[in-house]
């Protein structure tokens, strides 16, 4: 049987269904061609492109129900052709749906839905090799799941993908006939934790290099069920480090965000609006797709999809000329940053401003936090916090490197990072504050209440205090030259307050701070003096 291209299949099927829009599955997309592609482009604003001699239009397979409905509501009929089998050599496509027919058409010959490839594509054969390796190592170590590193992602296949989809909610897709799920390597802390919480044992297979045949992989870590109670606690001090964003071009910045594990989408030039439809499903870290988007639209701004990037972003806006409402006016707040600082002060957690942050062209600030995939309240001025917005599941944020036109002078201003390179974990107390059913405290006990100590705050648990110490030490290690001594004193002061309320052992805290300070490049002499002064001052604040 001769090999048939997708276009040949479409032409054959149009002979049988001349009045239908024919949609053919190709991997993780449904595609259509020629006049059907032009029609789909008109009704859904999907752009067509040339592949060889023909026009092509397509959309992700997850969107099939939406597109079927929109086509049929206009009075047109649809034929949906889906991939039903593939063994590495032969891919079989069958008619899954025909408008108005409960039983799919039986008169279409089988050969019109079949492609025979003489040899599998290189990518497809590598997928088979990866699948065989993961199954073998999984059986060898007696674990439930195998996670295989492919570039910047950890992936699981077939039954493993199904389990992860059901147990921790990862979205699955098909690739070369196999069910697949994945998450960024940079996000492994959160997803490893979720897998352990689901009482699943697993093994990691990591890339250690490349040769002429592609990536070289070998066994990484093994997480057995009986070890999970310990291993969940182990990585909690790990934080996501953000590598600098290349701002030579918007394409370079988008690629840099993707390398940091953030799923990006193109936005309209000098705007916050998405440039593409169905952006929730099309956000990607794939450098080839990113290169395609920004080659076609080199001046497109960059958006980061929060949910799939495992992010919660606190958006602190300027006053925009407005006067704050009560109680914020009584507290002297001038913008969202002042309001959020008061919220953090009441919680005794001033470190949140040391997370990776981006200054917006309007003078506002975006604070990035690592999510734990638990729903929070989101939107504008949540909890009545004036000029404080949140972005999380179902939302996106305009990323560093993007540009907006300044209405005052007509010049394009950039979104720029403030300098911190660590994404902190979203704190438990703030998640509790933003839960839909949380009871809020009145932030104004008196117009003159501005206590600077944390003496009225609840005592930290020892576990939480240890986590704060660990996060502070990571921040110290990554402080740039020129700010190290002042930064060390500030962090030591904060740790001193926690020591003062009895939640941290002073000797342990001192040794951890000293190790971090010397790692940053400070001498032992200046580190000891700064730490002792900071701890002493911090302890005095709570007595």
What is the tens place of the pLDDT at every residue in 387-420?
888 888 878 999 999 999 877 677 889 999 987 7
Is 442 inside any structural domain? no
Spatial CB neighbours of 262, under 8 Å, sequence gap ≥ 6: 285, 304, 309, 311, 399
Is 439 inside any structural domain? no
Listed residues 88, 118, 148: the one ending a domain: 118
What integer pLDDT is reported at residue 301 of this predicted model? 96
Q: Are residues 417 and 292 part of one domain?
A: yes
Task: List, in sequence order, every residue forming a beta bridge with 435; answer none if it has no partner.
Answer: none
Between 289 and 45, whose confidence is greater? Answer: 289
Show the beta-strand stretches assigned E in 142-177. 145-150, 153-157, 173-175
Angle at 47 between CA 41 and CA 53, to 5 degrees: 90
Q: Are residues 308 and 223 part of one domain?
A: no
Range of the domain at 532: 462-541
Q: What is the pLDDT of residues 17-28, one digit of tens each?
A: 888 889 998 877
Spell out a b/e string for 506-527, using b for 16 or more CB atoms within 10 Å of the CB, else e: eeebbebbbebbbebebeeeeb
Q: Are residues 250 and 225 part of one domain?
A: no
Between 299 and 227, whose confidence is greater? Answer: 299
Residue 451 predicted with pLDDT over 50: no
Q: Are residues 328 and 264 part of one domain?
A: yes
Listed residues 51, 86, 118: the one ending a domain: 118
* 266-269 long-range contacts, CB within 8 A, separation 24+: 266/293, 266/294, 266/297, 266/300, 266/301, 266/302, 266/303, 267/300, 267/301, 267/302, 267/303, 267/398, 267/402, 268/300, 268/301, 269/297, 269/299, 269/300, 269/301
What integer pLDDT is reported at residue 263 of this predicted model? 92
* Number of neighbouring beta carbons within 10 Å of residue 284: 17
For residues 463-474, average pLDDT: 77
Nearest residue to 401 (alpha-carbon basis) of 255, 505, 517: 255
> How would residue 366 be classed by pLDDT, with cut points 50, 70 and 90?
very high
| CA distances in angstroms from 430 to 342, 434, 526, listed in the order given | 13, 6, 35
Residue 105 predicted with pLDDT over 60: no
Is 440 inside any structural domain? no
Side-chain-facing half-sphere of 517: CA atoms under 13 Å: 28
Instruction: List alpha helices for 219-266, DSSP H.
Output: 228-233, 250-259
Q: How many domains does the chain have?
A: 4
Nearest residue to 79 (alpha-carbon basis) of 93, 62, 60: 93
Task: List, in sequence order, every residue forming a beta bridge with 70; answer none if it has no partner.
Answer: none
Q: Are residues 470 and 330 part of one domain?
A: no
Residue 458 predicted with pLDDT over 50: no
Cα–Cα distance measured from residue 67 to residue 308, given in angstroms and rounded to the nearest whole number: 23
Spatial CB neighbours of 186, under 8 Å, sequence gap ≥ 6: 152, 240, 260, 261
Is 512 inside any structural domain? yes
| CA distances in angstroms from 54 to 28, 49, 50, 80, 415, listed in the order given | 20, 8, 6, 20, 40
Listed residues 413, 433, 453: the one ending a domain: 433
What integer pLDDT is reported at residue 158 of this predicted model? 80
Q: Name the DSSP letter for residue 227.
A: G
Q: What is the pLDDT of residues 415-434, one digit of tens each?
A: 999 877 888 888 878 887 88
Q: What is the pLDDT of residues 145-179, one digit of tens each?
A: 999 888 778 888 888 888 887 778 777 666 655 67
- Burial grade of 470 (CB within 10 A; 0-12, 13-18, 19 or more): middle
Is 456 inside any structural domain? no
Residue 30 predicted with pLDDT over 80: yes
What integer pLDDT is reported at residue 182 of this predicted model? 82
For residues 207-227, average pLDDT: 73
Beta strands at 365-370 and 422-425: parallel, antiparallel or unpaired: parallel
Between 178 and 33, whose confidence is greater? Answer: 33
For residues 486-513, average pLDDT: 87
Helix (H) or strand (E) holding 530: helix 524-541
Cα–Cα distance measured from residue 191 to residue 310, given in angstroms and rounded to the nearest whole number: 10
Instruction: Determine what percent of the chain falls in helix, strand and coil, rounding each to the nearest 5.
Output: 40, 25, 35
Helix (H, G, I), strand (E, B) or coil at 136: helix
Beta strands at 311-316 and 388-391: parallel, antiparallel or unpaired: antiparallel
* Sign for the pseudo-dihedral over CA of 439, 445, 451, 453: negative
Spatial CB neighbours of 178, under 8 Å, sequence gap ≥ 6: 127, 131, 157, 158, 161
Q: Are residues 251 and 233 part of one domain?
A: no
Contact 497, 541 (CB under 8 A): yes
| CA distances in angstroms from 313 to 245, 374, 390, listed in the order given | 18, 14, 6
> How would residue 7 be classed by pLDDT, with cut points 50, 70 and 90?
confident
What integer pLDDT is reported at residue 14 of this predicted model? 84
Q: Are residues 405 and 297 part of one domain?
A: yes
Q: Are residues 343 and 233 part of one domain?
A: no
Is 355 inside any structural domain? yes
Peptide bond connecting 327 to the previous residue in cis, omega within 30 degrees of 0: yes
Which of 130-144, 178-192, 224-238 shows the lowest mean pLDDT across its residues? 224-238
> How would residue 470 be classed by pLDDT, with cut points 50, 70 and 90?
confident
Residue 123 predicted with pLDDT over 60: no
Per residue, the 3-state secondary structure of 379-448, as one string, reads: ECCHHHCCCEEEECCCCEEECCCCEEECCCCCCEEECEECCCCEEEECCHHHHHHCCCCCCCCCCCCCCC
Residue 118 predicted with pLDDT over 90: no
Is 452 inside any structural domain? no
- Burial grade of 79 (CB within 10 A; 0-12, 13-18, 19 or more): buried
Cα–Cα distance measured from residue 159 to residue 179, given in angstroms and rounded to the nearest whole number: 8
Q: Are residues 133 and 88 part of one domain?
A: no
Is 450 inside any structural domain? no
Cα–Cα distance measured from residue 373 to residue 310, given in angstroms and rounded to the nearest whole number: 7
Q: Are residues 404 and 345 part of one domain?
A: yes
Integer-rounded Cα Rg, in Å, for the chain is: 27
Task: List, in sequence order, every residue forming a beta bridge with 207; answer none if it has no partner.
Answer: 217
Spell out a b/e string for 110-125, using b for 16 or more CB atoms within 10 Å of the CB, else e: eebbbbeeeebeeebe
Helix (H, G, I), strand (E, B) or coil at 182: strand
Q: Are residues 269 and 414 part of one domain?
A: yes
Residue 441 predicted with pLDDT over 60: no
In percent, the amount of the chain with pLDDT more than 70 equals 78
- Burial grade of 504 (CB within 10 A; 0-12, 13-18, 19 or more): buried
Q: Name the DSSP letter for residue 225.
A: G
Phi, psi values for residue 525, rounded to 5°: -60, -50
Q: Are residues 136 and 204 part of one domain?
A: yes
What integer pLDDT is reported at residue 423 of this predicted model? 87
What integer pLDDT is reported at residue 303 of this predicted model? 96
CATH number at residue 109: 3.40.1170.10
Contact 158, 235 (CB under 8 A): no
Cα–Cα distance measured from residue 26 to residue 50, given in angstroms and rounded to the nearest whole number: 16
């Amino acid at each position: 049987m001769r090999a048939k291209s997708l276009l040949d299949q479409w032409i054959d099927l149009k002979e049988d269904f001349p009045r239908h829009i024919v949609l053919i599955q190709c991997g993780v997309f449904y595609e259509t061609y020629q006049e059907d592609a032009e029609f789909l482009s008109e009704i859904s604003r999907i752009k067509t492109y040339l592949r060889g001699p023909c026009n092509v239009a397509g959309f992700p397979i997850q969107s099939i129900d939406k597109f079927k409905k929109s086509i049929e509501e206009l009075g047109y009929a649809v034929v949906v052709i889906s991939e039903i089998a593939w063994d590495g050599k032969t891919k079989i496509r069958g008619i899954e749906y025909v408008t108005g027919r409960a039983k799919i058409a039986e008169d279409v010959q089988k050969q019109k839905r079949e492609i025979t490839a003489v040899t599998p594509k290189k990518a497809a054969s590598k997928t088979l090799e990866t699948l065989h390796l993961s199954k073998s190592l999984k059986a060898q170590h007696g674990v439930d799941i195998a996670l295989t590193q492919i570039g910047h992602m950890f992936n699981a296949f077939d039954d493993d993908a199904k389990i992860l989809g059901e147990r921790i909610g990862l979205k699955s897709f098909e690739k070369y006939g196999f069910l697949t799920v994945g998450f960024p390597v940079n996000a492994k802390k959160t997803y490893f934790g979720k897998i352990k919480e689901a009482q699943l044992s697993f093994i990691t297979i990591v890339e250690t290099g490349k040769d002429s045949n592609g990536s070289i992989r070998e066994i990484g870590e093994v997480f057995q069920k009986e070890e999970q109670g310990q291993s969940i606690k182990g990585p909690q001090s790990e934080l996501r480090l953000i590598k600098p964003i290349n701002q030579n071009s918007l394409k370079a910045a988008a690629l840099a965000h993707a390398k940091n594990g953030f799923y990006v989408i193109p936005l309209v030039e000098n705007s916050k609006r998405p440039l593409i439809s169905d952006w929730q499903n099309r956000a990607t870290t794939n450098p080839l797709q990113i290169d395609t988007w920004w080659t076609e639209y080199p001046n497109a701004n960059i958006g980061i999809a929060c949910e799939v990037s495992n992010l919660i972003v606190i958006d602190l806006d300027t006053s925009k000329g407005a006067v704050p409402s009560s109680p914020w006016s009584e507290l002297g707040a001038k913008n969202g940053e002042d309001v959020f600082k008061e919220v953090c002060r009441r919680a005794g957690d001033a470190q949140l401003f040391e997370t990776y942050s981006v200054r917006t062209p309007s003078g506002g600030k975006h604070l990035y936090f690592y999510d734990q995939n638990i729903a929070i309240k989101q939107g504008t001025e949540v909890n009545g916090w004036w000029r404080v917005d949140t972005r999380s599941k179902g939302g996106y944020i305009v990323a560093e490197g993007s540009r907006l036109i300044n209405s005052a002078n007509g010049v394009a201003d950039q979104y720029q990072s403030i300098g911190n390179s660590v994404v902190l974990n979203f704190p438990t107390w703030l998640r509790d504050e933003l839960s839909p059913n949380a009871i809020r405290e009145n932030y104004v006990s008196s117009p003159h209440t501005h206590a600077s100590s944390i003496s009225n705050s609840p005592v930290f648990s020892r576990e939480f205090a240890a986590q704060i110490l660990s996060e502070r030490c990571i921040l110290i290690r990554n402080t740039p030259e020129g700010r190290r001594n002042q930064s060390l004193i500030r962090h030591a002061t904060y740790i001193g307050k926690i020591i003062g309320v009895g939640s941290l052992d002073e000797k342990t805290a001192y040794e951890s701070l000293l190790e971090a300070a010397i790692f940053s490049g400070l001498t032992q002499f200046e580190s000891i003096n700064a730490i002792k002064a900071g701890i002493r001052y911090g302890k005095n604040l709570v007595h």
